[in-house]
Structure 1
Amino acid sequence: MIKKLVIVFITVFAIQAQAQDGTASPYSFYGIGNLKFKGTAENRSMGGLSVFTDSIHVNFSNPAGYAGNNLKIWNNESRPVVFTVGGSSSNLSLKSDGGSQNANSTTFDYLALSVPMGKFGLGFGLVPYTSVGYRLENLNAAGEVDQRYKGDGGLNKAFVGLGYEIITNLSIGVDASYNFGNIQNSALQFRYQDGQPLQYHTLENNRSDLSGINLNFGLSYRTMITSKLELTTGLTYMPKSTIKSENKRAFSSVVADPAVNQEVVISTIEADLESDNLKTTDLTLPTMFSFGAGIGKPQKWFAGAEYSLQKTSEFGNPIFTIGNAKYVDASAVAIGGYFIPDYNSYSSYLKRIVYRAGMRFEHTGLEINNEAINEFGISFGVGLPVGTDFFSNANIGFEFGKKGTTKANLIQENFMNLQISLSLNDRWFLKRKYN
């Protein structure tokens, strides 16, 4: 157990040491950033499908997944304790009517632990919820840099959840998340006279410190519909919640060169947000609902589909209001599955590998200049058994897709994502055979 914990912490340290901004997407400029997928690398390799649950992976998308069946190999006495940690790297090709550019980002995605407790199951961990990381410029009619925008930060979730197996193969669960983080953005306005930049320019800095609690409810049901085929269904519901935002704004006179991404502050004035009732604002995290179902042969193959709806039209916070953007309800469809040639093979390692694939289509709920920002992705991945117990595994996933459009002076992102995770299993609780 100690060796496995050491591996987990080394992995987390390595991911954090290499981490840059959690995203390089220009669309993280809007709202509180890009919504991060709340799921494991295994889920993402199946198009984001999270309806499937088993005893050797953590499924923190649906808290009902913390409970489940014991393992036959352990005489049906226990499920394993599961540690999981993951990170990802993204390569973006940004394309607009005015040109193209490449961007990269690397991020820590999650750290979680699931512990069996009889018919109950406990899960807790840390996962990013949104991510902000953009560098944008506007040009004036003369082709000079008019405004320069920067943004960093995001919202994180520290969660704890409890699942309970009501009857065999029917589980319910709930998790509570403490949301915390900050978002920092700046806007630099350049001034010119006779085509030459003036000595002093204006810089606006904003910072919002976010905190709040929300709940997520889940249900999972599995049943054999024939002697070999199993039906799996899952449902989650996250009610609307409110997060407090403590805001600061400052205006500075700076010396800056449009050709160099650097500025020197000469003087600063703090804005009086109190008088505008913007010092403390309430941000709405919208209601979210998902339902999925799939069919498969246990420990051999699985194929399923999932639909989710998020009431992003409920999103609101005066400090984040932007004139050319609005939010409507978001929706997403995911289709995917896995295949294992022979999970119990002793003669061939390749036969024990889990092969995953999937695809997804998402309407993000964000509309800019009356254009809907949609996202599409195709994913592939493998689960590589590690150790001697056949339960622990390393997971590698790839996703290719695009987001946005070049219409209405917008940007299209063509992305390639790499996800890596470890799912390590151990047995903590043993029944005494002798007193």
Structure 2
Amino acid sequence: MKNNIIYLSCFILMSLTSFSQSISSSPYSLYGVGSVYDSDFGILPAIGSSGMALPSDTFINNLNPASLGFVSLNHFMFDIGGKAIATTYQSSLRSEKRNNFQFSHMAFAFPVTKNSGFSLALRPYSSGAFKISNLALPMENSQEYYYLTAVGSGGLNNFDFSYGYRFGKKLSLGFTGSVLFGNVSDERNFLIQNTLTTVAKKTDYKGFRATLGAQYKIDSTFTIAPVIKLPAQIKASKVQNVQVIADEITTTIQSNVASDVDDYYMPLEIGAGFSKRFKNNLNMTFDYEKSFWNNTNQSELYGNFVNQDRFALGFTYSAKKDIRRYWDHVQYAMGANFDNGYLEVDGKRVNNASVSIGLSLPIENTLTTLNISYSYGQKGRIANDLIKENYHKLSLNLSLDGIWFVKRKFE
């Protein structure tokens, strides 16, 4: 039974990875390097993506590298995840439904010493798959409009290596180095009166970012955790083609012209979280994170980057009454998440809010678990050039835990 569940989960997750090249269809992925992607491991999607203060004792916690200081000795952990998302896009004129499947992450972690652990993870950082038709935009210093049609795909990948070390029983410190790489391709058509300008380009990105974290156990039931993501500069270069069509005459302005473009800047992000356990079976987590996008001095033709606030709250519960009853070992979870957005379009924030529920199902008498969660959320709003997204998301994470380097004992 155990092997059948694991094989079935792996098959579903591997199937999801085949769709990973189109992991977002949000029109807001038009901005920057695409929509920032939420890749949460283990039980985290079910608790509103909170958990900075949770240790990596039963799953790999990607929110805080300090959690690796609590990896159990001789335990090797592997985590893989995927998502299925059904989204309805609404504007003041029409609505449209789209479904897509997304690869979320692949990671493994293991102890280095009895007080430290190391992990490697591969996950998307951003995704940009969009299609916009005949969007009317005002011309600067004019009462007239021009029309934009755009198609794009691509995004950035994130390869993380993390290390956490625990000092005594209370304090753990951690570091994550993130290598970001990828490209975004898009074609944009600008129709101004009777002149059509086509700009097709492919932009490559590469860079590095560091994250610092800590966890401190005030007592056996209460843990606090600060996390700092340092600002980073992501180098960019592009290859571009430009054509102008006027009076049925096509003029090539650029053909496969390579050049450097403005680099993409990731902001300083400061977060803090806590975890509180009640009566050994109910646990509450709460996270707050501030992202200083204003300091990157970036802007888009169609909007601006602004400072972002994110709040996340989660609860988990397990009965743990009878060790012989399977459902007493199941962990039940629920959560909520809200952020006011890092994009401002036409003076209005593109915010996001969601609620979630889930289960963590143990695989027989092991620490391996199958984490299933469902969330419903809304992003953006219906106003002028803005679009509202209503989405249903089903997340499936398989957290494998194996014991290595332990000799069998025979009596």
TM-score (norm 2): 0.88
Q: Are the equivalent residues in 2 in contact too, given 1:385–1:393 (CA < 8 A)?
A: yes
Amino acid across the alignment from 1:402: Q
3-state SS in 1 of match to 2:319: coil
Cα 1:281–1:18 change in 2 (3 A) is closer
Number of matched residues?
397
Partner of 2:316: 338
Moved over 6 A (4+): 2-9, 265-268, 431-434
Partner of 1:270: 255
Q: Does 1:376 align with 2:347?
A: no
Q: Are the equivalent residues in 2 in contact too, given 1:20–1:106 (CA < 8 A)?
A: no
Partner of 2:82: 87
Q: Does 1:233 align with 2:211?
A: no
2:124 pairs with 116, 128, 141, which one?
128
Partner of 1:245: 236
Q: Are the equivalent residues in 2 in contact too, given 1:283–1:316 (CA < 8 A)?
A: no
Q: Are the equivalent residues in 2 in contact too, given 1:45–1:398 (CA < 8 A)?
A: yes
Q: Distance in 2 between matches of 1:101 and 1:31?
A: 24
Partner of 1:359: 336
3-state SS in 2 of match to 1:217: strand
Q: Distance in 2 between matches of 1:433 and 1:107?
A: 43
Q: Are the equivalent residues in 2 in contact too, given 1:234–1:293 (CA < 8 A)?
A: yes
Cα 1:9–1:418 change in 2 (3 A) is closer
Superposition CA RMSD, Å:
3.0
TM-score (norm 1): 0.83
1:414 pairs with 362, 369, 390, which one?
390
Q: Distance in 2 between matches of 1:187 and 1:50?
A: 40
Q: Distance in 2 between matches of 1:184 and 1:178?
A: 20
Q: Are the equivalent residues in 1 in contact too, given 2:71–2:110 (CA < 8 A)?
A: no
Q: Distance in 1 between matches of 2:389 and 2:261?
A: 34
Q: Distance in 1 between matches of 2:236 and 2:322?
A: 52
Q: Distance in 1 between matches of 2:135 and 2:59?
A: 49
Give the Å deviation of 1:221.
1.8
Partner of 1:53: 55
Give the Å deviation of 1:146.
4.4
Q: Are the equivalent residues in 2 in contact too, given 1:55–1:79 (CA < 8 A)?
A: no
Q: Are the equivalent residues in 2 in contact too, given 1:299–1:343 (CA < 8 A)?
A: no
Q: Distance in 2 between matches of 1:8 and 1:211?
A: 33
2:64 pairs with 62, 85, 95, which one?
62
Partner of 1:203: 198
Cα 1:379–1:41 change in 2 (3 A) is farther
CA deviations on 1:345-370 (whole Å, 9 max, x unpaired) are: 213x2221111100011011210000
- Structure 1, unaligned stretches of length 5 or more? 71-77, 194-199, 255-264
CA deviations on 1:53-106 (whole Å, 9 max, x unpaired) are: 241100022111112164xxxxxxx25211000011211111111111112221
Q: Are the equivalent residues in 2 in contact too, given 1:69–1:169 (CA < 8 A)?
A: no
1:133-212 correspondence to structure 2 within 5 Å: 133-138=129-134, 146-189=147-190, 202-212=197-207
1:28-39 correspondence to structure 2 within 5 Å: 28-39=29-40
Q: Distance in 2 between matches of 1:36 and 1:298?
A: 35
Q: Does 1:327 align with 2:295?
A: no
Amino acid across the alignment from 1:203: T
3-state SS in 1 of match to 2:236: strand
Amino acid across the alignment from 2:240: R
